[in-house]
Amino acid sequence: MPESTKPKPFCFVLMPFAETFTDIYNLGIKETCEQSGAYCERVDEQVYQGNILDRVYNQIAKADFIIADMTGKNANVFYEVGYAHAVGKSTILLTQNNDDIPFDLKHFPHVVYNNITALKAELKKWVEWNIQNPKIKIENKLSVEIYCKDINLSGEAVHIDKKYATDYYQYALPLTIHNNSTETFNSNDFKIACIFSEKFRAGFFLNSVDEIPYIRNGSSTVTPARITALPDGNQSINFPAFETLYPYDYAPCLLYLNYDLTAATEKIIIRLYTSFGTRDYTCLLDFP
């Protein structure tokens, strides 16, 4: 079939029908889809017989991919997104507030936006990827789980037991990276970093390798960690590259962090970076 006569990929949009979302839909979502080569509709634009829920089921089934705006935690949108996931549809989540994405959906692709220009710039990448990869589930690309011993860090923020803190003002976290997908991840497919506050800075001024953060990646080699200052005042260190992670494979590593804190609890984030998006695993370190 000639390229010009091929049907366009169909994107079905799930979102509240409130007036405040009119420009977001018309100028942000619909315009982005059309510019990228996809046909885009939401159910209130369609003429049909029968009840609206049956129509939504029908359109989700027909869609090549779904865009859903979760802003405001609209109950109908959440229900429809659950159905789209259940039938295996690739779904792009949008929100004006990151807290509107519950923890068990945060590993799905989601775009946080505060204006239509920002929405279009980020959404365009996901729409084009879905058009170019019609049979691949994006969420599979972020299905990496991280454990501290037997504790799965992939859900809500997890308190890490004080037993991992030593008498030398150091946390030693035994972590396991788990590829919980059917994909094979090569070392250059993803990066993992640890993000923490400047309260840990006291441990970074000393020159001895044993007195700065370092990561052991399953071998006998100790790798000093390069510290990056972030614009928000936090700091980041990158894990060393892992070997190939095959489907459902595991890889161990031991993360050391020095501290000199008086606070009872401090948050760190272990962040997965991929070309398809990021996923955060939040730990709360309890101090002796």
Q: Which one is predicted more confidently, 22 or 161?
A: 22
Maximum C-alpha span of the chain: 73
- pLDDT, tens digit (0-9, with 9 covering 90-100), for 158-190: 777 666 655 556 677 788 889 887 778 888 888
Q: What is the pLDDT of residue 140?
A: 61
Q: 278: closest CA among 157, 155, 67, 107?
A: 107
The CATH code that applies to domain 144-286 is 2.60.40
Distance separating alpha carbons of residues 288 and 277, to the nearest angstrom: 35
The mean per-residue pLDDT over the stretch 80-96 comes to 87
Mean pLDDT across 256-274: 75
> What gap in Å lies between CA 208 and CA 191, rounded to an integer?
26
How many angstroms separate the CA atoms of 232 and 225, rounded? Answer: 20
Fold of 3-139: Rossmann fold (3.40.50)
Q: Compute the distance between CA of residue 266 and CA of residue 173 in angstroms, rounded to an integer.
A: 14
DSSP 8-state secondary structure symbol assigned to residue 253: E
Interacting residues of 232 by C-beta distance below 8 A, sequence separation 6+ = none
Q: What's the chain's length in residues?
A: 288
pTM reported for the whole predicted model = 0.52
Task: Locate the domains of the chain by residue range.
Answer: 3-139, 144-286
Is the pLDDT at 30 greater than 90, yes or no? yes
Helix (H, G, I), strand (E, B) or coil at 228: strand
What is the distance between the alpha carbons of residues 52 and 222, in angstroms, rounded to a whole number? 60
The pLDDT of residue 115 is above 60:
yes
Model confidence pLDDT, tens digit, residues 220-239: 455 556 778 888 888 888 88
Q: How far apart are CA 243 and CA 254, in angstroms?
A: 15
Asked if residue 134 has pLDDT above 70, the reply is: yes
The mean pLDDT value for 70-78 works out to 91
